[in-house]
Chain A
């Protein structure tokens, strides 16, 4: 099983089916890859202003909703200036 074990207690980046991006610390997960994040924020991207960060706190994401989970390089992430990043939000999944 390509499990999420290595990601526990790490900062992770989630891409959801509807296109949302969420960053948080992976507090736990289960068989169905339902995921609990602590200290999480949604990063809202837009093409005409910087990235808006919306605090979500402790957050549970259903496994079905998840496209991708990535491990964040915290140093690289802190070096990013989110206010200068302009990008279209990721499109939702379309079959």
Chain B
């Protein structure tokens, strides 16, 4: 059955509906939330979302080890995410 196997990238997202997914976004942001809807632009609707924003402080010329990474976290109940910011959507780990 074509609808049950993974034949193309979007199948992987379809099979993640109603599961918790990890989303990497532009602007050093990432989300974890339960996927309820998506479309061909990778617009997403997620619930029970936790956003993590990575802010790198320190000069651009500082040694990589010298830079301080600040992490800001935020929770949102129900969130629409515009697809143009999405870098990747990763299904839940089946460990």
A interface, CB within 8 angstroms of B: 94-95
Q: Which residues of B, 7-41, contact A by the 8 Å Cβ criterion?
A: 26-27
User: B84 at the A/B interface (Cβ < 8 Å)?
Assistant: yes
Q: Which residues of A contact B26 (CB under 8 A)?
A: 94-95
Q: Which residues of B contact A94 (CB under 8 A)?
A: 26-27
A95 to B25, CA, bound (A): 9
User: B92 at the A/B interface (Cβ < 8 Å)?
Assistant: no
Sorted nearest first, the 6 A-B pairs with minimum C-beta distance are A95-B26, A94-B27, A95-B84, A95-B85, A95-B27, A94-B26
Shortest Cβ distance from B53 into chain A, in angstroms? 13
A94 to B85, CA, bound (A): 10
Q: Which residues of A contact B27 (CB under 8 A)?
A: 94-95
Q: Which residues of B contact A95 (CB under 8 A)?
A: 26-27, 84-85
Q: Which residues of B, 60-89, contact A by the 8 Å Cβ criterion?
A: 84-85
What are 6 A-B interface contacts by the 8 Å CB criterion?
A: A94-B26, A94-B27, A95-B26, A95-B27, A95-B84, A95-B85
Shortest Cβ distance from A64 into chain B, in angstroms? 14
**A94 — nearest CB in chain B belongs to which residue?**
B27
